[in-house]
Structure 1
Amino acid sequence: MSNLDVRPKPVECGGRDDVTGRPVHELLPPRRVPLGESTVVRRLLPSLGRRMVGAWCFVDHYGPDDITDEPGMQVPPHPHIGLQTVSWLHGGEVLHRDSLGSLQTVRPRELGLMTSGRAISHSEESPRRHSAILHGAQLWVALPDGDRHTEPSFEHHADLPAVRGPGFDATVILGELDGAASPGTTFTPIMGADVALEDGADVRLPVEPDFEYAVLTMSGITEVDGMRVEPGSMLYLGTGRRELPLRADGDSGLVLLGGEPFEEKLVMWWNFIGRTGEEIAQAREDWMTGDRFGTVHGYDGAPIPA
């Protein structure tokens, strides 16, 4: 997914300076950002108060939107370097195309995972025949220095492992939760899980004390470690926990994100993650001159200019 800010500013991320070395409750308010022709997202990372959660460096939440008589998501071809994109849906479908020739429809609770590596471009759109409701999250994972120039790739995993218990069902998106491991490729110690809670559920999920965590509430009201979190909000939890208490007031859904603090310093600008401003400037020039990023075939529209 693209960052469509017209005048994006460079954002410095990473390092342990901003990592809280203890459990905390830090509510991250969303910022509303237009995405493409008809979608508005709630941007939660990066924010003024929090740049990263482990290697997770970008989080958008959108919907649920009624797109019965609308085109839905329409994000033209755009470039990426230095990151992975994670497409995650609770409702609707997203058609992914990329410069590798991938063509894949991603549906609810399926993992669409694109590793940009040195350079890739892609588009995302609601198919012409689509469901009435579009609801999901788009997330980026920063690649460590040793892997950020790798060859680009795309993975689609329709069958993901689950962790179940009384009143809850957790799908492992990336990494591992309670012994269940996602098939998605990772490059740092990281985890992501989608947790569905039944009304009245009182759950304690096992977590890693060395990881920092955050919870994105997708739907319903969830009490996270005693704090009520509204839909479309993110609660940063810091580090130092071995379990995470969750309680549902009505059926609810959330995405749990975690990982070891990302020690490297990054520069993020538009859809690029690098280490220096010069590297970002070169990526921008390469995209505008048609070098390096390849071509996305089949999208009905022009690429997004940097």
Structure 2
Amino acid sequence: MSNVEAEPAVLSCGAPADGERGTAPRVEVLAPREVPLGGPRAMTVRRTLPQRARTLIGAWCFADHFGPDDVAATSGMDVPPHPHTGLQTVSWLFSGEVEHRDSLGSHALIRPGELNLMTGGHGIAHSEVSTPRTTVLHGVQLWVALPEAHRDAARDFQHHIPDPLSLEGAEARVFLGSLAGVTSPVRTFTPLLGAEIVLRPHATVTLAVDPGFEHGLLVDHGQVRMADSLVRRAELGHLDTGNDSLTLTNASDEAARTLLLGGPPFDEEIVMWWNFIGRSHDDILRARAAWQDGTDRFGTVEGYHGDRLPAPALPNATIRPRANPPRKGTR
């Protein structure tokens, strides 16, 4: 998915201060902001990463949560060909179907419970369009920052259908990394965790997790206690490193659906503007110019009927990296 804001914020992702790691467990609850994806009948997404309070959880640096969206009212998703650098995109649907095309030549359908992961290191372009048979569109689009050693990685596209995993009081699908004895075969450039977890009404689940990871819990439906802090629908709870277990409790009378994200703190500062991730202002300038000039850096998306998405104007200032702000107390 593209960031289609006309004036995208200048944001950089960086690690928290060293002195803050290893502290007692506490949850920071992040509220989303609504972002329209363009046009008077635009589909609106709820964005919890990046924001001023937090720009990274592990290498996860972007989280858009959308739907359930009645496509008869909004026309669904129609994102023209647009570029990416320095990241991987993770698409995960709860309902509906999206057609993906990219400049690698991939042509795939994104369906509920199926992972589509695209790598755009040095440069890739893709389009995303909900299919005619989609009536309700509902899911998330996530970005993962590539580390310095791999930020110019070659274009790639991976598809994986994780098997459901039964837990006491819950069901999980592990699409990235390892959880509860299940490991995803999908390749990433930093250690990551990505799993959908659906908890039964009022159920409690305690999961063994990597103490070197920080974790984020995005609640799609219901209300869930994460380490005793309540995370409501569309909010993202963040738990720091130093925990070898994580307890989730469904505080709802209905099943609660969540996404659990994790990874070791990302120790690199990275500049993020529009759909580009780099390390400097000049990286962004070069990527934008290459896209606007139609160079072969991003390739061509075949099969999309329409114009590609132009890059927005650059800000009238040097884009500089900055770290996450100091952590606040629990909510």
Task: Report the secondary structure of 1:261's partner residue.
Answer: coil
Give the aligned length: 304
Match of 2:324 in 1: none
Deviation at 1:239, TM superposition (A): 1.6
Which digits, 9 at most, give the CA deviation of each residue in 1:259-304, with x for residues without a partner? 0000111010100001111011000000000011111111122111
Which position in structure 2 is the counterpart of 1:8? Answer: 8
- Structure 1 residues 7 and 178, CA, compared in 2 at 3 Å: closer, same or farther? same
Q: Which residue of 1 aligns with 2:112?
A: 108
Q: Counterpart in 2 of 1:220?
A: 222
In 2: Cα distance, 1:220 partner to 1:246 partner: 12
CA contact (8 A) 1:112 1:155 kept: yes
Report what 2:70 is aligned to: 66
- Corresponding residue for residue 260 of structure 1: 264
Q: In structure 1, which of residues 36, 42, 67 is the aligned counterpart of residue 46 of structure 2?
A: 42
Aligned to 1:119: 123
1:206 corresponding residue in structure 2: 208
Give the percent of matched residue pairs that are identical in Structure 1 and Structure 2.
49
Which runs of 5 or more structure 1 residues have no equivalent in the other structure? Answer: none
* Contact 1:160/1:183 (<8 A) preserved: no
Which runs of 4 or more aligned residues in structure 1 lie more than 3 Å from their structure 2 counterparts after TM superposition? 18-21
- Contact 1:54/1:259 (CA < 8 Å) preserved in 2? yes
Q: Measure the CA separation in 1 of the matches of 2:124 and 2:45.
A: 23
Alignment of 1:13-162 (within 5 A): 13-17=13-17, 20-22=21-23, 23-37=25-39, 38-68=42-72, 70-130=74-134, 132-157=135-160, 159-162=161-164
Report if the CA contact (8 A) 2:21-2:242 is conserved: no
Shift of 1:34: 0.8
Name the SS for the 1:16 alignment partner: coil
Between the aligned partners of 1:36 and 1:299, the Cα distance in structure 2 is 18
User: Which residue identity is paired with 1:15?
Assistant: A
Distance 2:162 2:199 in 1: 18
After TM superposition, the structure 1 stretch with the greater mean CA deviation from structure 2, 259-268 or 5-14, is 5-14
Is the 2:98–2:110 contact (alpha carbons within 8 Å) kept by the matching residues of 1?
A: yes
SS at match of 2:211: coil
Deviations 1:27-49 (A, max 9, x none): 11101001144210001001110
Residue 96 of structure 2 contacts residue 136 of structure 2 at CA under 8 Å; is this kept in 1?
yes
**Alpha-carbon distance in 2 for matches of 1:270, 1:176:** 31
1:233 partnered with 2:238:
no
Verify the 8 A CA contact 2:27 2:226 in the aligned structure 1: no
**1:71 to partner: Cα distance:** 2.6
Amino acid at match of 2:226: V
- Alpha-carbon distance in 2 for matches of 1:163, 1:16: 33
Q: Partners of 1:137 and 1:92 in 2: how far apart?
A: 12
- Structure 2 Cα separation of the partners of residues 65 and 205 of structure 1: 32
Structure 2 CA distance for aligned equivalents of residues 224 and 67 of structure 1: 33
Q: What is the rounded CA distance, in whole Å, between the counterparts of 2:146 and 2:80 in structure 1?
A: 24
Mapped to 2, the partners of 1:174 and 1:40 lie a distance apart of 26
| Local SS of the residue matching 2:309 | coil
Aligned-residue offset at 1:237: 1.2
Query: How far apart, CA to CA, are the structure 2 residues paired with 1:70 and 1:270?
Result: 23
Post-superposition Cα deviations, 1:172-227, rounded to whole Å, max 9, x if no partner, equal 11111122111211111111110011112111011111111110001112222222
TM-score, with structure 2 as normaliser: 0.89
Rounded to whole Å, the distance in 1 between the matches of 2:69 and 2:21 is 35
User: What is the SS of the residue equivalent to 1:146?
Assistant: helix
CA distance in structure 1 between the partners assigned to 2:226 and 2:285 by the alignment:
41
SS state at 2:142 partner:
strand
User: Partners of 1:21 and 1:121 in 2: how far apart?
Assistant: 39
Partner of 1:183: 185
Q: Does 1:171 align with 2:173?
A: yes
Aligned partners of 2:43 and 2:74 also within 8 Å: no
Equivalent of 2:300 in 292, 295, 299: 295
Q: TM-score, with normalisation over the residues of structure 1? A: 0.96
In 2: Cα distance, 1:273 partner to 1:81 partner = 6
Matching residue's letter, 2:144? V
Aligned equivalents of 1:169, 1:181: Cα separation in 2: 15
Deviations 1:94-150 (A, max 9, x none): 1101011111111001001000011000011101222x2111010000011111111
User: Which runs of 5 or more residues in structure 2 are unaligned?
Assistant: 312-331
Whether the 8 Å CA contact 1:163–1:177 is kept in 2: the answer is no
